[in-house]
Amino acid sequence: MDRMLYIGMSGAKETLLAQALNNHNLANVSTTGFRADLSQARSMPVFGPGLPSRAYALSERPGIDFTPGPIQTTGRDLDVAIRGRGFIAVQAPDGSEAYTRAGDLAISPEGLLVTGTGLPVLGEGGPITVPPAQSLSIGSDGTVSIIPLGQAANTQAAVDRIKLVNPPLEELEKGEDGLFRGPGGATYPADAAVTLVSGALEGSNVSPAQALVRMIELSRQFELQVKAMKTAQENDEATARLLRIG
Protein backbone atom coordinates (compact mmCIF):
# COMPACT_ATOMS: atom_id res chain seq x y z
CA MET A 1 0.00 0.00 0.00
CA ASP A 2 2.84 2.39 0.77
CA ARG A 3 4.10 2.19 -2.82
CA MET A 4 0.72 3.23 -4.20
CA LEU A 5 0.38 5.98 -1.62
CA TYR A 6 3.88 7.32 -2.29
CA ILE A 7 3.37 7.41 -6.04
CA GLY A 8 0.03 9.20 -5.68
CA MET A 9 1.47 11.67 -3.18
CA SER A 10 4.55 12.57 -5.21
CA GLY A 11 2.48 12.77 -8.40
CA ALA A 12 0.00 15.17 -6.79
CA LYS A 13 2.84 17.35 -5.52
CA GLU A 14 4.50 17.62 -8.92
CA THR A 15 1.17 18.25 -10.62
CA LEU A 16 0.70 21.27 -8.38
CA LEU A 17 4.11 22.55 -9.48
CA ALA A 18 3.15 22.03 -13.13
CA GLN A 19 -0.08 23.93 -12.49
CA ALA A 20 1.90 26.84 -11.04
CA LEU A 21 4.12 26.98 -14.13
CA ASN A 22 1.13 26.81 -16.47
CA ASN A 23 -0.63 29.56 -14.51
CA HIS A 24 2.53 31.67 -14.75
CA ASN A 25 2.47 31.32 -18.54
CA LEU A 26 -1.24 32.17 -18.63
CA ALA A 27 -0.68 35.25 -16.47
CA ASN A 28 1.85 36.53 -19.03
CA VAL A 29 -0.35 36.07 -22.08
CA SER A 30 -0.30 39.86 -22.57
CA THR A 31 3.35 40.45 -21.62
CA THR A 32 5.40 41.94 -24.45
CA GLY A 33 7.97 39.50 -25.85
CA PHE A 34 7.23 36.81 -23.24
CA ARG A 35 8.48 33.27 -23.90
CA ALA A 36 6.52 30.40 -22.36
CA ASP A 37 8.19 27.90 -20.04
CA LEU A 38 7.88 24.23 -20.93
CA SER A 39 7.35 21.45 -18.39
CA GLN A 40 7.39 17.68 -18.33
CA ALA A 41 7.18 14.88 -15.78
CA ARG A 42 9.07 11.60 -15.47
CA SER A 43 9.43 8.79 -12.97
CA MET A 44 12.55 8.52 -10.86
CA PRO A 45 13.64 5.55 -8.70
CA VAL A 46 14.19 6.15 -4.99
CA PHE A 47 17.72 5.03 -4.17
CA GLY A 48 18.75 3.95 -0.70
CA PRO A 49 19.45 0.83 1.34
CA GLY A 50 18.19 -2.26 -0.47
CA LEU A 51 16.71 -2.44 -3.95
CA PRO A 52 15.20 0.66 -5.65
CA SER A 53 11.64 -0.67 -5.36
CA ARG A 54 10.06 2.77 -4.96
CA ALA A 55 9.52 5.43 -7.60
CA TYR A 56 8.35 9.00 -7.49
CA ALA A 57 7.20 11.60 -10.00
CA LEU A 58 9.46 14.50 -10.95
CA SER A 59 8.37 17.62 -12.82
CA GLU A 60 11.04 19.65 -14.52
CA ARG A 61 11.38 22.56 -16.90
CA PRO A 62 13.13 21.06 -19.92
CA GLY A 63 13.41 24.34 -21.76
CA ILE A 64 11.75 27.42 -23.15
CA ASP A 65 9.33 27.81 -26.03
CA PHE A 66 11.12 30.17 -28.43
CA THR A 67 8.29 30.24 -30.95
CA PRO A 68 7.94 33.86 -32.16
CA GLY A 69 4.95 35.79 -30.87
CA PRO A 70 2.60 37.85 -33.05
CA ILE A 71 3.84 41.28 -34.15
CA GLN A 72 1.35 44.11 -33.79
CA THR A 73 1.79 47.57 -35.30
CA THR A 74 1.57 50.39 -32.76
CA GLY A 75 2.94 53.35 -34.72
CA ARG A 76 4.91 54.51 -31.67
CA ASP A 77 8.44 55.64 -32.50
CA LEU A 78 10.02 53.91 -29.49
CA ASP A 79 8.33 50.55 -30.05
CA VAL A 80 10.44 47.93 -31.83
CA ALA A 81 9.99 44.23 -32.54
CA ILE A 82 12.69 41.79 -33.57
CA ARG A 83 12.12 40.22 -36.97
CA GLY A 84 12.90 36.50 -36.65
CA ARG A 85 15.63 35.39 -34.29
CA GLY A 86 17.60 37.64 -31.98
CA PHE A 87 17.48 39.55 -28.70
CA ILE A 88 17.95 43.07 -27.37
CA ALA A 89 20.83 43.44 -24.92
CA VAL A 90 19.94 45.19 -21.65
CA GLN A 91 21.61 45.89 -18.33
CA ALA A 92 20.12 43.75 -15.56
CA PRO A 93 19.57 45.22 -12.06
CA ASP A 94 22.80 43.57 -10.89
CA GLY A 95 24.77 45.30 -13.64
CA SER A 96 25.23 42.20 -15.79
CA GLU A 97 24.28 41.87 -19.44
CA ALA A 98 21.01 40.12 -20.18
CA TYR A 99 18.72 39.71 -23.16
CA THR A 100 15.05 40.32 -23.87
CA ARG A 101 12.53 40.35 -26.71
CA ALA A 102 10.49 43.15 -25.15
CA GLY A 103 10.79 46.22 -27.36
CA ASP A 104 8.49 48.65 -25.54
CA LEU A 105 11.23 51.25 -25.07
CA ALA A 106 11.08 54.65 -23.39
CA ILE A 107 13.33 57.53 -22.34
CA SER A 108 13.96 57.78 -18.60
CA PRO A 109 14.10 61.14 -16.79
CA GLU A 110 17.90 60.76 -16.81
CA GLY A 111 17.91 60.45 -20.61
CA LEU A 112 18.58 56.71 -20.74
CA LEU A 113 16.91 54.48 -23.31
CA VAL A 114 15.15 51.86 -21.18
CA THR A 115 12.73 48.99 -21.59
CA GLY A 116 9.17 49.03 -20.31
CA THR A 117 10.43 47.60 -17.01
CA GLY A 118 13.09 50.31 -16.62
CA LEU A 119 16.18 48.33 -17.69
CA PRO A 120 18.82 50.35 -19.61
CA VAL A 121 19.24 49.27 -23.23
CA LEU A 122 22.85 48.57 -24.17
CA GLY A 123 24.55 50.12 -27.18
CA GLU A 124 28.02 49.89 -28.63
CA GLY A 125 29.67 51.29 -25.51
CA GLY A 126 27.21 50.63 -22.69
CA PRO A 127 23.77 52.01 -21.78
CA ILE A 128 22.39 54.31 -24.46
CA THR A 129 21.96 57.96 -23.45
CA VAL A 130 19.66 60.10 -25.57
CA PRO A 131 20.18 63.90 -25.50
CA PRO A 132 17.17 66.22 -25.59
CA ALA A 133 15.61 66.11 -29.04
CA GLN A 134 12.44 67.06 -30.82
CA SER A 135 12.03 63.58 -32.33
CA LEU A 136 13.64 60.16 -32.21
CA SER A 137 13.65 57.18 -34.55
CA ILE A 138 15.09 53.66 -34.45
CA GLY A 139 16.28 52.06 -37.67
CA SER A 140 15.96 48.43 -38.67
CA ASP A 141 19.61 47.87 -37.75
CA GLY A 142 19.07 49.32 -34.25
CA THR A 143 20.54 52.74 -34.97
CA VAL A 144 19.01 55.39 -32.69
CA SER A 145 18.74 58.74 -34.47
CA ILE A 146 17.41 62.07 -33.27
CA ILE A 147 16.56 65.49 -34.65
CA PRO A 148 18.28 67.87 -32.20
CA LEU A 149 16.32 70.67 -30.65
CA GLY A 150 16.12 73.70 -32.88
CA GLN A 151 17.30 71.84 -35.99
CA ALA A 152 15.48 71.34 -39.27
CA ALA A 153 13.30 68.27 -39.73
CA ASN A 154 15.72 66.86 -42.32
CA THR A 155 18.66 67.07 -39.90
CA GLN A 156 19.31 63.76 -38.17
CA ALA A 157 22.13 62.71 -35.87
CA ALA A 158 22.96 59.12 -34.96
CA VAL A 159 23.21 58.72 -31.18
CA ASP A 160 24.10 55.05 -30.78
CA ARG A 161 23.17 51.60 -32.01
CA ILE A 162 21.19 49.09 -29.97
CA LYS A 163 23.17 45.92 -29.33
CA LEU A 164 21.30 43.07 -31.02
CA VAL A 165 22.54 39.53 -30.46
CA ASN A 166 21.65 36.13 -31.86
CA PRO A 167 22.97 33.51 -29.40
CA PRO A 168 22.35 29.75 -29.72
CA LEU A 169 18.92 29.20 -28.20
CA GLU A 170 19.97 25.95 -26.51
CA GLU A 171 22.53 27.88 -24.43
CA LEU A 172 20.17 30.50 -23.04
CA GLU A 173 18.89 30.31 -19.48
CA LYS A 174 15.76 32.14 -18.38
CA GLY A 175 15.86 33.78 -14.97
CA GLU A 176 13.03 34.47 -12.57
CA ASP A 177 13.07 38.08 -13.81
CA GLY A 178 12.12 36.89 -17.30
CA LEU A 179 15.50 37.87 -18.78
CA PHE A 180 17.70 35.51 -20.77
CA ARG A 181 21.36 34.97 -20.00
CA GLY A 182 24.23 32.92 -21.29
CA PRO A 183 25.62 30.00 -19.27
CA GLY A 184 27.60 31.28 -16.32
CA GLY A 185 26.81 34.88 -17.24
CA ALA A 186 28.45 34.61 -20.67
CA THR A 187 27.82 37.49 -23.10
CA TYR A 188 27.46 37.45 -26.86
CA PRO A 189 28.72 39.80 -29.58
CA ALA A 190 26.45 42.03 -31.62
CA ASP A 191 25.05 40.40 -34.76
CA ALA A 192 24.40 42.68 -37.73
CA ALA A 193 22.00 40.11 -39.21
CA VAL A 194 19.39 40.79 -36.49
CA THR A 195 16.88 43.39 -37.65
CA LEU A 196 14.09 45.38 -36.03
CA VAL A 197 10.59 46.38 -37.06
CA SER A 198 9.99 49.97 -35.94
CA GLY A 199 6.62 51.04 -34.63
CA ALA A 200 5.60 47.52 -33.64
CA LEU A 201 5.67 45.17 -30.67
CA GLU A 202 5.96 41.41 -30.39
CA GLY A 203 3.33 39.84 -28.18
CA SER A 204 3.57 36.81 -25.91
CA ASN A 205 3.83 33.40 -27.56
CA VAL A 206 1.47 31.86 -24.98
CA SER A 207 -1.76 30.51 -26.46
CA PRO A 208 -4.61 31.27 -24.01
CA ALA A 209 -6.70 28.38 -25.36
CA GLN A 210 -3.88 25.84 -24.98
CA ALA A 211 -3.02 27.13 -21.50
CA LEU A 212 -6.65 26.79 -20.37
CA VAL A 213 -6.90 23.27 -21.78
CA ARG A 214 -3.65 22.39 -20.01
CA MET A 215 -5.08 23.80 -16.78
CA ILE A 216 -8.11 21.49 -17.05
CA GLU A 217 -5.88 18.48 -17.81
CA LEU A 218 -3.68 19.13 -14.78
CA SER A 219 -6.74 19.60 -12.55
CA ARG A 220 -8.14 16.23 -13.61
CA GLN A 221 -4.74 14.62 -13.18
CA PHE A 222 -4.51 15.98 -9.65
CA GLU A 223 -7.98 14.61 -8.83
CA LEU A 224 -6.96 11.13 -10.05
CA GLN A 225 -3.82 11.18 -7.91
CA VAL A 226 -5.78 12.23 -4.83
CA LYS A 227 -8.27 9.44 -5.58
CA ALA A 228 -5.39 6.95 -5.75
CA MET A 229 -4.19 8.14 -2.34
CA LYS A 230 -7.71 7.70 -0.92
CA THR A 231 -7.97 4.21 -2.43
CA ALA A 232 -4.66 3.27 -0.84
CA GLN A 233 -5.97 4.45 2.51
CA GLU A 234 -9.19 2.45 2.12
CA ASN A 235 -7.25 -0.69 1.18
CA ASP A 236 -5.00 -0.24 4.19
CA GLU A 237 -8.02 0.09 6.50
CA ALA A 238 -9.63 -3.02 4.96
CA THR A 239 -6.43 -5.02 5.50
CA ALA A 240 -6.26 -3.88 9.12
CA ARG A 241 -9.84 -5.02 9.69
CA LEU A 242 -9.09 -8.48 8.24
CA LEU A 243 -6.06 -8.83 10.50
CA ARG A 244 -8.15 -7.94 13.54
CA ILE A 245 -10.72 -10.62 12.60
CA GLY A 246 -7.98 -13.22 12.34
Pair (117, 165) in one structural domain: yes
56 and 153, same structural domain? no
Are residues 13 and 121 part of one domain?
no
Contact 69, 203 (CB under 8 A): yes
- Find, among 25, 32, 27, 85, the residue nearest to 203 by Cα: 32
246 pLDDT above the threshold of 60: no
Are 108 and 76 in the same domain? yes
Q: What distance in Å separates the CA atoms of residue 63 and residue 38, rounded to the nearest whole number? A: 6
Residues with Cβ within 8 Å of residue 135, at least 6 apart in sequence: 77, 146, 147, 153
Q: Specify the DSSP element, H or E, that contains 17.
A: helix 2-27
Question: Of 187, 202, 217, at which residue does a domain stop?
Answer: 202
For the entire predicted model, the pTM comes to 0.81
Is the domain of 136 the same as that of 232?
A: no
Per the structure, the count of domains in the chain is 2
Q: How confident is the model at residue 152 (pLDDT cuts 50, 70, 90)?
A: confident
3-state secondary structure of 209: helix
Q: Are residues 28 and 149 in the same domain?
A: no
Kindly report, residue by residue over 168-210, the tens digit of the pLDDT.
999 999 988 889 999 988 999 999 999 999 999 999 999 999 9
Q: Is 202 exposed, middle or buried (0-12, 13-18, 19+ CB in 10 A)?
A: buried
Q: What range does the domain containing 118 cover?
A: 71-202
Same domain, 238 and 194: no
**What pLDDT does 60 receive?**
67
pLDDT tens digits for range 67-122? 999 999 999 999 999 999 999 999 999 999 999 999 999 999 999 999 999 999 99
Residues 31 and 75 in one domain: no
Q: Tell me the per-residue pLDDT of 45-69, one tens digit each, with 9 for 90 and over.
A: 777 787 776 776 776 666 899 999 9
Same-domain pairing of 106 and 48: no
